[in-house]
Amino acid sequence: MNNITRNILTAILLIIAQTIIFNNINLLGYINPFVYIIFVAYYPIKNDRLFFIFISFIIGLLIDIFSDTLGLHAAASVTIAYLRPSILKISFGLAYIHQVIKFKNIDFKNKLIYLSLLTVMHHTVLFSLEIFNLSKTLFIFDRVIMSSIFTITLCILFSYLFKTNER
């Protein structure tokens, strides 16, 4: 299967899984996993950046349509897609600068740092826009941390369960 077909299938499966399964998981009333960000995290680095941001917007918009969240996921997805090169540089340093990162070969520590930064950034944008009230900053912080821990755990679990030969 070529890369384009695999990326399309991955995006469709993540959208379906997010809307049918993961949107219905609500631990303690406010902890939700958002595993669709795996697509943004593992999208090939050498592909066109503008197209990648557009695809991230479309995925976020589709999640918004099925979740009735008025563009929150689209905004968060575009934000992390835009900031992904900086996060990659922080997480992988020279390996990113020289474009030699292979997600299947990175060690656990770098994968954890990368997914953590991406997830916390996504959740901060998402929950800040959802709640949009400065008097609830501690509640936003609590939701970001708790949902991020759950999402990061699931993303790492899925990245090892569905490891492919080439990413």
Are the C-beta atoms of 154 and 118 separated by less than 8 Å? Answer: no
Residue 106 counted as domain residue: yes
Task: Check residue 64 and give its pLDDT.
Answer: 93
Give this prediction's pTM.
0.86
Task: Check residue 44 and give its pLDDT.
Answer: 81
Task: Check residue 56 and give its pLDDT.
Answer: 93
Please give the residue range of the domain that contains residue 63.
3-161
Residue 167 counted as domain residue: no
Task: Check residue 149 and give its pLDDT.
Answer: 93
Number of domains in the chain: 1
Residue 154 counted as domain residue: yes
Q: What are phi and psi of 106, to 5 degrees?
A: -80, 150
The parts of the chain modelled with pLDDT lower than 50 are 165-167
Residue 99 counted as domain residue: yes
Task: Check residue 100 and give its pLDDT.
Answer: 63
Task: Check residue 167 and give its pLDDT.
Answer: 41
Burial (CB count within 10 angstroms: exposed 0-12, middle 13-18, buried 19+), residue 6: middle
Task: Check residue 54 and give its pLDDT.
Answer: 94
DSSP helix/strand/coil, 27: strand
Task: Check residue 164 and give its pLDDT.
Answer: 56
Residue 166 counted as domain residue: no
Task: Check residue 166 and give its pLDDT.
Answer: 45
